A and B are shown apart, each in its own frame.
Chain A
Amino acid sequence: MLFEALTFQLGYNATLVTIGAVLLGLAAGVTGTFLFLRKRALVSDAIAHATLPGVGLAFIALTLLGFDGRNLPALLIGSALSAILGLFAVQWLTARTRLSEDAAIGAVLSVFFSFGIVLLTVIQTMETGGQAGLEGFLLGSTAGMLFADAALIAAGGAIVVALVFLFRRPMTLVSFDPGFAATSGTSLNRIDLVIMGLVMGVTVVGLKIVGLILIVALLIIPPVTARFWSDRAEHVVIFAGIFGALSAWIGAALSASAPDLPTGPLIVLVSFALFALSMIFAPGRGLLASAYRHRWFQRGVHIRQGLLALAQGQPIYEPLTLRLLSRAGLARADGVATESGKARAARALRDEKRWEVARATPDLELAAARYDGLTRIEDVLTPDQIAEIDARIGGPEAVA
């Protein structure tokens, strides 16, 4: 079942949903990256919750005017308008009052959401409201998705991705260094507006599949996951798009092969699984890699200090140092150096002296800044420079 779902062989509706979800995941991942880098991830939650009254009002307006209230494009336009209002409210509260952004987000989010819920209840009591299915916008509802709906999501997602590509440089500038961006001619307000506009686009497009409560997960989790895998913003964007699309694809397939399970929440859970795996196993920033690096560095420092102590005939008290030295065959368990230990100790002491001279030499000071207690000076300086240092070690010191 799952294999059929993953390869789009599970019927028309399931295929539409999966394709729509993958494009949505891609768009949300790349857009969310800049939201995350700009440290404004939670604004998306306010935007998402602020869509609800728009959906309700659009439905009521359509019905009163005699149209079908379930027209998706019209509902999405309504949701976009009220999302803009919500975003504006957050911006205004932050800029004009002493409220911080998190407080403004909390206030706007809950007020708009409450108003939306009231409207949905009112709609329930209307004649045509009973079968409206607007609650589907809360957590997404993919049953009965039409081709036109999928096409709308696909087109919206494609536009969002194209705009992210177009604005990637100014968005990176503003996210990293707003002051520099402003002086070099990038309008902060305009670029922030672009970022928020894109977030709103993703939110509106994603209402049908994941719903307004969970869309924030698709905007935040894939970029955070991607950050574990790359140290360059341009790659983080790409990885976030891939992780978003992958989560959506697997999540939609899972829900298609087990029809009682909801699509949106499954997509979010899959993206969390990717996040958890990345957090543990990613090279570089992952937990295992960090722990390993820490241990390796600790070992290096202990051995170095042990060797320096051996070279200068000082006793070693630290049990870990002794253990590491004897395991490496550099010293006996009682702290007496072996033959290879003596040679290594002499080398370590010479290295340390060379670094010391390098630090005191104006021309070499820049290179000497790379001293970390482990890096060998041969890896930083040229043989000529080292010869010069050795000449000095033998020179002035002997006179003194």
Chain B
Amino acid sequence: MTPAHLLEIETQAKAEAAAADSPLAIRGMTVFYDQKPAVFSVDATFQPGRMTAIIGPNGAGKSTLLKAALGIVTPLAGKATIFGAPLSERRDRLAYVPQRASVDWDFPARVADVVAMGLYPKLGLLGRFTGAHRAKVKHCLARVGMEDFAHRQIGQLSGGQQQRVFLARALAQEADLYLLDEPFAGVDAATERAIIDVLKELKSEGKTVIAVHHDLSTVPEYFDDVLILNVRKVSEGSVAEAFTHEALDAAYGGRLDLAGTAALPVSA
């Protein structure tokens, strides 16, 4: 064997070891919608205990990558492992916060009912919903500042409040990995701050947070790592390494000029 071969084997072994440690490792993920690639051969290894933003232009496949990793969308190729094992063995360790607009908020449920849904998987079919569960629901609502709204019909909530209810439901799942799809889309400033505070708390507890994000200006302030996508992976790594002008230019093309890249707090 030549040294080059050995190096290759070593690199591969390292990648596999990293995947085994990683809260979410994605390999060769490819999704097509109607013969058009939405996500093409994306590899990504997310680091434990950190907050990662998945960014990219509209239609870059950010949400699709997340959904494919979670099995909500069936990929054409590729796989994802969660803490080194397939999703089916690790469901109890992850919490997913879908886009707010993906559900019908006229559904007959109160705020507390939605948060209680986070406890359903552990309750199973026959488990009794006890006072301890009710207390946990209350606690999760308090963490997102919504305890006064527990008995509100969910249809009466503002967009920001809906988003916080979804986050509270994820908190009730007591996961180690939190995956959020556009948690800051269309929310008021107060909600954005409340959500980022909770996410930072989760990080300080050693949890991993991955969020699809669209506001480039807040990336360095909110997140440790980024994954920049435009159907294919453009760059991946810490904000200092990966959130660069070159990477953003590559992902957004000329489109970002309108917003003015110069003003963005990107890494040199």
**Interface on A for B, CB 8 Å cutoff?**
37, 39, 166-167, 169-170, 172-173, 175-177, 179-180, 182-186, 227, 230-236, 362, 365-366, 368-369
Contact = CB atoms under 8 A, between A and B. Distances in A.
A227 B108 contact: yes
B190 A366 contact: yes
Contact of A185 (B91, B98, B109): B91
A182 B72 contact: yes
A369 B190 contact: yes
B103 A177 contact: yes
Nearest to B120: A169
Contacts of B104: 39, 176
A179 B72 contact: yes
A227 B121 CA distance: 26
B194 interface: yes
Nearest to A380: B148
A183 B96 contact: yes
B236 to A, nearest CB: 23
Contact of B107 (A175, A235, A362): A175
B49 interface: no
A362 B103 CA distance: 30
Interface in B117-152: 117-118, 120-121, 123, 125-126, 145
Contact of B110 (A166, A177, A232, A236): A232
Contact of A365 (B120, B125, B126, B190): B190
B174 to A, nearest CB: 12
Contacts of B91: 183-185
B27 interface: no
A183 B94 contact: yes
Given A170-B120, A184-B173, A176 B109 contact: yes
B107 A37 contact: yes
Given A186-B121, A369-B158, A232 B98 contact: no
A176 B117 contact: yes
A163 B145 CA distance: 37
B23 interface: no
Given A167-B125, A182-B70, A233-B113, 15 more contacts: A166-B125, A166-B126, A169-B120, A169-B123, A169-B125, A177-B103, A179-B102, A180-B169, A182-B72, A186-B120, A232-B109, A233-B107, A233-B108, A366-B190, A369-B191
A184 B120 contact: yes
Given A173-B120, A179-B102, A366-B194, A37 B71 contact: no
A177 B102 contact: yes
Interface of B: 67, 70-72, 91-92, 94, 96, 98, 102-104, 107-110, 113-114, 117-118, 120-121, 123, 125-126, 145, 153, 155, 158, 160-161, 169, 173, 188-191, 193-194
B125 A179 contact: no
Contacts of A180: 96, 98, 117, 169
B108 A37 contact: yes
A373 to B, nearest CB: 14
A249 B109 CA distance: 29
A188 B61 CA distance: 23
B125 A170 contact: yes
B132 to A, nearest CB: 17
B262 to A, nearest CB: 29
Contacts of B103: 176-177
B246 to A, nearest CB: 34
A183 B72 contact: yes
Contacts of B107: 37, 175-176, 233
A298 B67 CA distance: 44
Name which of A182, A233, A362 has the most chain B CB atoms within 10 A of its CB.
A182
14 contacts: A166-B125, A170-B120, A180-B117, A180-B169, A182-B72, A183-B94, A184-B120, A184-B173, A186-B121, A231-B155, A365-B189, A365-B193, A369-B161, A369-B191
Given A166-B125, A176-B114, A180-B96, A369 B109 contact: no
A344 B103 CA distance: 43
A236 B153 CA distance: 14
A370 B121 CA distance: 33
A48 B179 CA distance: 41
Nearest to A236: B108
Nearest to A368: B190
A179 B120 contact: no
A365 B121 CA distance: 34
A169 to B, nearest CB: 5
A166 B124 CA distance: 10
Nearest to B97: A180
A336 to B, nearest CB: 38
Contacts of A236: 108
B219 to A, nearest CB: 22
B110 A231 contact: yes
Contacts of A182: 70-72
Contacts of B145: 366
Given A182-B70, A182-B71, A184-B173, A233 B109 contact: yes
B80 to A, nearest CB: 12
A366 B157 CA distance: 13
Nearest to A223: B108
Contacts of A362: 190, 193
Contacts of A173: 117, 120
A169 B98 CA distance: 19
B180 to A, nearest CB: 12
Contact of B67 (A169, A172, A179): A179
A233 B116 CA distance: 13
